[in-house]
Structure 1
Amino acid sequence: MEHWIRAEDPSAVGAVRRQAVELAERAGFDATLIGQTAVAVSEAVSNLVKHAVEGAVMVRPHPEAAATVELITLDKGPGMADIGRALRDGYSTSGTLGIGMGAIARIATGYDVHSLPGKGTVLAMHFTADKAAAPPQRASGVTRPIGEETVCGDAFAISEIGAVTTVLLCDGLGHGHIAAQASRLAVELFLQVRDQEPLAILDHLHRGLTRTRGGAAAVARVEPGGVTFAGLGNVSGWVAHAEGRQGMVSVPGIAGKQGAHLRQYAYEMPGYATVVLHSDGLTARWDPAAMPGLFSRTPAVIAAGLMREAGSRRDDACVVTARPGT
């Protein structure tokens, strides 16, 4: 389960480091790699605590790969004008461990960052027990519960088969544990039929969620040149890139309830585009042009950047991003 920690005081450094070490141990990291992971995580979170505005950090198992630990941080300022300088050896912000962001990037199996002066920074890094088995980074997602709740009623799932990436987003009706029951069941149902077309997957969810409160759900199948989409309820789907975005159609209704008329739609997808699904915990008014450079980054950074820019604290929120394989 994802858990965001506010980076408001130094205690956040220890809390995140302990989570990262626990996950690394479960993933089978050796003692040397566990120590390196702890150092890199501590440095990244120390930077966040000292310099960020409204900073938050999450560490979790990577959603695309086993034996992989992922750290995501986001904040609303001050941002970096020169990311390349921050990644060079010998450059370190004062008051941290002093190893520098360049060293963090070398310790991590994978590393990506997006930063805009005055708007903030999103950083994603991952660590694997075997660096030869790094995740493909074709899809990612993040969730965040309403207010100070610890359980989010939104959930996502990712399936990668060959060059096809299929993603699910479910927004359980309401909030808290009851909403989460619906969204978690939706994930289980999705994984049972993940190789099918979105319409068939959504129909399977619709029939399987009848014993729950239900929710809004959408499935997107992303492959080279196009995306097939089926959505039910208030879930937003987009084909997005640096120049703009195209909306995808979700039909009215509630998954698990009577009366829905499911439909499937196909859309062209340029090679430089990203499919974005999000719940109504994010406003639909976000604009790629207002976040220059974001849509050239990895799906994890795009998802976290959209959560920062468009997410609301007044509702559970989830955003999932996907690209086709090659």
Structure 2
Amino acid sequence: MTAGGATTRVVPIEDDSQIGQARRVAQALATELGFNETDAGRAALVATELCTNLLKHAHHGALHIRRIPGRNGSGIELIAVDRGPGFDPAQCLADGFSTGGTQGTGLGALSRQTQVFDIHSDSRGSVVLAQLYPRHASALPLRFGISQHALNDDPACGDTWHIALKGARVAALVIDGIGHGQEAERASLAGKAAFATAPFDEPSSNLMSMHQAMSGTRGGAAAVALYDANTGTLRFAGVGNIGAHLLTTEKSRGLASHPGIIGGQFRKAQVFDYPVGDSRLLIMYSDGLQSRWNLRDYPGLVHRHPAIIAALLHRDFSRGRDDVTVMVIALEAIGD
């Protein structure tokens, strides 16, 4: 399995009219991905319910919409993001509970309409995740999350990413083309194409291949990680300012990159081997995200779905002056 490059579409939810817009965007994407009429209607229903709850309880926020890879086809990911007062997910998932005077079937019904459903909520706001697949497809055995956004919603994004899955092994790439816009996108896509031809090659060899492919472009920063769930090891190599961390429930360990520009000034990168041990997550991100974040400031977040974590980090730590990509991978046994 390989996947990569899908950006996140953000629909602001500030009044009732935008609920309809979010519903139409979700249904159109589902139809484009091969959902039948019933399943596309299910995606529209989930989008409507997420946005209705968001507007009712947080008064404003956004719905993040993205295509996600699956077995035998693609699915759709919907994430409601807000900075409201928060709520108790356990209570709100119980049918019959309501904080707004309704019948209280919203979140409980949503969880039954989706293949993947998760929530994080605290006093800083809430992130509610729903992933849906058409009847012929299902979720991948690898749990990961991506939040990728172009500066000012530009159609061209200078960041890109790629993930490959082979048995118990995962290969992950994040590239940040220098600057933003079409030329940055051209650089990053050239690097991704080189990586995708042989993602499980040695990281140093892959970086050299990307360097050659990105020559003549603006160049950029890149980082490659290889995770083997059977051996519990992670190999990592990076050039430039792609941040990377291994996280346990108690601490975070930064992964070392070398200075330089892939496609420009670049020396062979050293590959570092890290024992995964009790690490639960690998997080890689471009410099559109601030580096001074700590998941321990969000009790329980490390246990949530990686897509929840990626969306929350974007919500709270995006610099707002560059393209931004956040990739979160759960380091756990990978099913068949």
Look up the match of 1:230.
237
- What percentage of aligned pairs have identical amino acids? 36
What secondary structure is seen at the aligned counterpart in 1 of 2:170?
strand
**Does 1:43 pair with 2:49?**
yes
Aligned AA for 2:197? Q
Task: Report how far residue 95 of structure 1 moved.
Answer: 8.6
Q: Identify which of 249, 266, 285 aligns with 1:278.
A: 285
Tell me, in whole angstroms, the C-alpha distance in 2 between the residues paired with 1:152 and 1:131: 31
Q: Deviation at 1:184?
A: 2.4
How far did 1:59 drift? 1.4
Q: CA deviation at 1:67?
A: 2.9
Structure-1 separation of matches of 2:170 and 2:251: 22
Equivalent position of 2:181 in the other structure: 176
Query: In the alignment, is the contact (CA less than 8 A) between 1:43 and 1:99 conserved in 2?
Result: no
What is the CA-CA distance between 1:270 and the residue it aligns to? 2.7
Q: Say yes or no: does 1:12 pair with 2:18.
A: yes
Residues 1:30 and 1:132: Cα distance change in structure 2 (over 3 Å):
closer
TM-score normalised by structure 2 residue count: 0.89
- More displaced stretch, 196-205 vs 216-225: 196-205
Unmatched segments (≥5 aa) in structure 2 = 1-6
Which structure 1 residue ranges, 5 or more long, are not aligned? none
The question of whether the paired residues in 1 share the 8 Å contact of 2:248 and 2:278 is answered with no
Matched-pair contact (CA < 8 Å) for 2:117–2:129: yes
Instruction: State the alpha-carbon separation in 1 of the partners of residues 238 and 102 from structure 2.
Output: 46
Root-mean-square deviation (CA), in Å? 2.1
Post-superposition Cα deviations, 1:161-216, rounded to whole Å, max 9, x if no partner, equal 11111111111100122212222222222211112222222221111111211111
Match of 1:83 in 2: 89
CA distance in 1, matches of 2:46, 2:219: 41
Q: TM-score, normalised by structure 1?
A: 0.92
- 2:300 corresponds to 1:298: no
8 A contact 1:143–1:318 mirrored in 2 = yes
Q: Distance between the aligned counterparts of 1:21 and 1:88, measured in 2?
A: 27
Asked if structure 1 preserves the Cα contact closer than 8 Å seen for 2:76 and 2:131, the reply is: yes
- Residue 329 (structure 2) aligns with: 322
Match of 2:251 in 1: 244
User: What secondary structure does 1:62 align onto?
Assistant: strand
* Distance apart, 1:29 and its partner CA: 2.1
| Number of residue-to-residue matches in the alignment | 324
| C-alpha contact (below 8 Å) 1:92/1:101 kept by paired residues | no
Q: What's the secondary structure of 2:188's corresponding residue?
A: helix
User: Which letter does structure 2 place at the counterpart of 1:157?
Assistant: H
Q: Deviations over 1:5-63 (max 9, x none)?
A: 22222232222211221222223322222222211110001222333366222212114
